């Protein structure tokens, strides 16, 4: 079992997300005495009777002033069973881009809903973003269960509605778990609650400690974006020429035949070097240096891949974008695409559709893609690049869209269409009642 779980939290404003994270930290004794003293003092200053655990995580001045979370915060805690890296992401609609940030590296996401409100627009939007970014597992924490008198019927209704939505997004039933909690009172967060005798599942922490973690894809074909060429030019290492990088997918051994893309030159790996000595094999997630049999021209931005199963090299492709910038995307936009270790000029030639995460349907040929919107586009690149589909590899199927004028990050890009089943027809015609119900709740778009 993996000893590290990367998770993200998502929820709407006032769902109690920061309080839940504070509760997890507090009940796992991850909060040290001086930090806790500061929270007690600040809570008392505000006239609160009990410590406000959200103050443990809302670190910025404006966050504490407004009582909301603005920016993604990273938290670290550990139990005897596992270490956790938690990306706590804000709930406001205008901060959805931070949910995308947190989700891009998460192996599991905890989505919060208020038991009094159930599944709302933001819940569906967040679930769609999590599904799109390929977060393998979801937990729905039905929070403030104390405020509905620990009512089983309310919980079951919300759980059922959410399961239907998650299933429509492509999740299998065992990838989604619903838990009734009260972050404020502590019910089912770390300790099992006596107030929910009808609930037999795990507490949130029990689930986080035991949920299987999908390992890096070792059985996938080898992918290695070259970051840097190491040439010491010292007397001891006169002819040393190593290609440094992080294995993005698969494994590599000395003797393996590889191809360098986009050039297409082939050679074999002679040695896998690290500062701790040579390795007999390297796998996804490891930073290593490869030495090759032939002296061929390789530089930063090239991709080394297994010769038998290499990605397609193309300058024209379809992708899904999560638009993260205030200024909208319009067809014909000139941007930069950063893929792996290569940055190339690109043009968005077509906006094919915009995904309506409420109705789980798509709108064809929108005039623009606005902040927080998700859509499929066609891109043309100034030079060909080796691309994998995002559904094949999060590391080699992802890219950034960058503004060439000021360098800001405009969008999260995913090669292909990771949610192909979300075409309007496939979602509604198979009689998915949840999707139908959701659709009925949506007001007509502009």
Partner 1 sequence: MTLALDTLGRLESEAIHIFREVAGEFDRPVILFSGGKDSTLLLHLAIKAFYPAPVPFPLLHVDTGHNFDEVIEFRDRVVAQHGLRLEVAKVQDWIDDGRLQERPDGTRNPLQTVPLLDTITQHKFDAVFGGGRRDEERARAKERIFSLRTAFGQWDPKRQRPELWNLYNGRHRPGEHVRVFPLSNWTELDVWNYIEREGVELPDIYYAHEREVFLRDGMWLAEGPWGTARDGETLVRKTVRYRTVGDGSCTGAVESDAADIHAVIAEVAASRLTERGATRADDRLSEAAMEDRKREGYF
Q: Binders of partner 1 among 261-280, rule CB under 8 A? A: 273-276
CA distance 385 to 344: 9
CB closer to partner 1, 89 vs 438: 89
Q: Which of 135, 324, 351, 374 binds partner 1 (CB under 8 A)?
A: 324
Contact flag: residue 180 with partner 1 (CB under 8 A): no
Least Cβ distance, residue 423 to partner 1 (angstroms): 25
CA distance 340 to 301: 7
Exposure of 102 in the CB half-sphere (CA atoms within 13 A): 30
Collapse the DSSP code of 365 into the 3-class scheme (helix H, G, I; strand E, B; otherwise coil) and give the result: coil
Q: Which of 46, 116, 160, 237 binds partner 1 (CB under 8 A)?
A: 237
Is residue 439 within 8 Å of 431, Cβ to Cβ?
no
CB closer to partner 1, 192 vs 300: 300
CB closer to partner 1, 116 vs 253: 253
* β partners of residue 141: 112, 179
Contact flag: residue 76 with partner 1 (CB under 8 A): yes
Contact flag: residue 98 with partner 1 (CB under 8 A): yes
Q: Which of 28, 43, 349, 409 binds partner 1 (CB under 8 A)?
A: 409
Contact flag: residue 100 with partner 1 (CB under 8 A): yes
Is residue 183 within 8 Å of 50, Cβ to Cβ?
no
- Residue 130, preceding peptide bond in cis (omega within 30° of 0): no
Q: Which of 174, 234, 295, 425 binds partner 1 (CB under 8 A)?
A: 234
Q: Which of 59, 212, 264, 332 binds partner 1 (CB under 8 A)?
A: 59
CA distance 71 to 88: 8
Segment interacting with partner 1 (CB under 8 A) among 184-192, 194-202, 285-293, 423-431: 285-293
Q: Which of 10, 72, 189, 346 binds partner 1 (CB under 8 A)?
A: 72
Segment interacting with partner 1 (CB under 8 A) among 169-177, 202-210, 336-344, 358-366: 336-344
Contact flag: residue 147 with partner 1 (CB under 8 A): no
Q: DSSP labels for 159-210?
A: HHHHHHHHHHTT--GGGEEEEE-BTTTTBTTTBPPTT-TT--S--HHHHHHH
Contact flag: residue 120 with partner 1 (CB under 8 A): no
Contact flag: residue 398 with partner 1 (CB under 8 A): yes
Query: CA–CA distance from 276 to each of 118, 289, 345 (Å)?
Result: 53, 11, 38
Least Cβ distance, residue 222 to partner 1 (angstroms): 13
Contact flag: residue 46 with partner 1 (CB under 8 A): no
| 108-114 sheet: strands from edge to edge | 73-78, 83-88, 4-11, 108-114, 137-143, 176-180
Least Cβ distance, residue 260 to partner 1 (angstroms): 17
Query: CA–CA distance from 18 to each of 44, 169, 330, 362, 426 (Å)?
Result: 18, 26, 36, 33, 37
CB closer to partner 1, 344 vs 424: 344
Contact flag: residue 75 with partner 1 (CB under 8 A): yes
C-alpha triplet 112, 118, 120: angle, nearest 5°: 80
CA distance 94 to 126: 12
Contact flag: residue 254 with partner 1 (CB under 8 A): no
Contact flag: residue 212 with partner 1 (CB under 8 A): no
Q: Which of 215, 332, 420, 445 binds partner 1 (CB under 8 A)?
A: 215
CA distance 87 to 381: 33
Least Cβ distance, residue 386 to partner 1 (angstroms): 15
Q: Which of 230, 293, 363, 442 binds partner 1 (CB under 8 A)?
A: 230
Q: Which of 79, 167, 240, 378 binds partner 1 (CB under 8 A)?
A: 240
Main-chain dihedrals φ then ψ at residue 306, nearest 5 degrees: -65, 135
| Total interface residues for partner 1 by CB under 8 A | 78
Q: Which of 28, 105, 195, 314 binds partner 1 (CB under 8 A)?
A: 105
Contact flag: residue 251 with partner 1 (CB under 8 A): yes
Least Cβ distance, residue 220 to partner 1 (angstroms): 13
* β partners of residue 62: none
């Amino acid at each position: 079992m993996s000893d590290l779980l990367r998770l993200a939290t998502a929820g709407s404003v006032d769902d109690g997300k920061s309080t839940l994270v504070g509760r997890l930290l507090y009940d796992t004794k991850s909060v040290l005495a001086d930090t806790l003293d500061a929270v007690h003092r600040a809570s008392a200053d505000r006239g609160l009777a009990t410590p406000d655990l959200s103050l443990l995580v809302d670190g910025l001045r404006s966050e504490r002033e407004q009582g909301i979370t603005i920016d993604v915060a990273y938290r670290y805690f550990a139990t005897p069973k596992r270490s956790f890296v938690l990306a706590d992401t804000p709930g406001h609609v205008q901060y959805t881009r931070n949910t995308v940030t947190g989700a891009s590296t998460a192996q599991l996401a905890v989505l919060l809903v208020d038991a009094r409100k159930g599944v709302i627009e933001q819940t569906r939007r967040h679930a769609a973003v999590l599904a799109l970014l390929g977060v393998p597992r979801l937990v729905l924490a039905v929070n403030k269960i104390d405020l509905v008198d620990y009512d089983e019927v309310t919980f079951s209704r919300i759980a059922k509605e959410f399961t239907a939505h998650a299933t429509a997004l492509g999740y299998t039933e065992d990838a989604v778990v619903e838990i009734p909690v009260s972050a404020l009172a502590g019910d089912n967060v770390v300790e099992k609650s006596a107030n929910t005798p009808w609930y037999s599942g795990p507490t949130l922490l029990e689930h986080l400690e035991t949920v299987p973690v999908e390992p890096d894809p070792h059985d996938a074909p080898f992918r290695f974006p070259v970051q840097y060429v190491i040439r010491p030019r010292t007397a001891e290492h006169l002819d040393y020429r190593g290609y440094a990088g992080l294995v993005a997918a698969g494994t590599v051994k000395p003797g393996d035949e590889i191809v360098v893309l986009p050039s297409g030159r082939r050679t074999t790996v002679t040695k896998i070097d690290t500062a701790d000595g040579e390795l007999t094999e390297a796998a996804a997630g490891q930073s290593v240096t490869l030495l090759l049999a032939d002296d061929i021209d390789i530089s930063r931005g090239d991709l080394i891949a297994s010769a038998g199963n290499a990605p397609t090299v193309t300058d024209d492709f379809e992708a899904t974008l999560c638009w993260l910038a205030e200024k909208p995307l319009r067809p014909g936009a000139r941007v930069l695409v950063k893929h792996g270790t290569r940055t190339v000029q690109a043009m968005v030639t077509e906006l094919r559709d915009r995904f309506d995460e409420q109705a789980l349907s798509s709108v064809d040929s929108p005039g623009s893609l606005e902040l927080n919107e998700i859509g499929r586009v066609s891109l043309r690149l100034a030079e060909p690049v080796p691309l994998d589909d995002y559904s094949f590899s999060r590391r080699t199927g992802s890219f950034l869209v960058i503004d060439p004028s000021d360098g800001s990050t405009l969008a999260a890009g995913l090669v292909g269409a990771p949610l192909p089943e979300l075409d309007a027809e496939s979602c509604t015609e198979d009689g998915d009642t949840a999707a139908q119900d959701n659709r009925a709740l949506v007001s007509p778009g502009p």
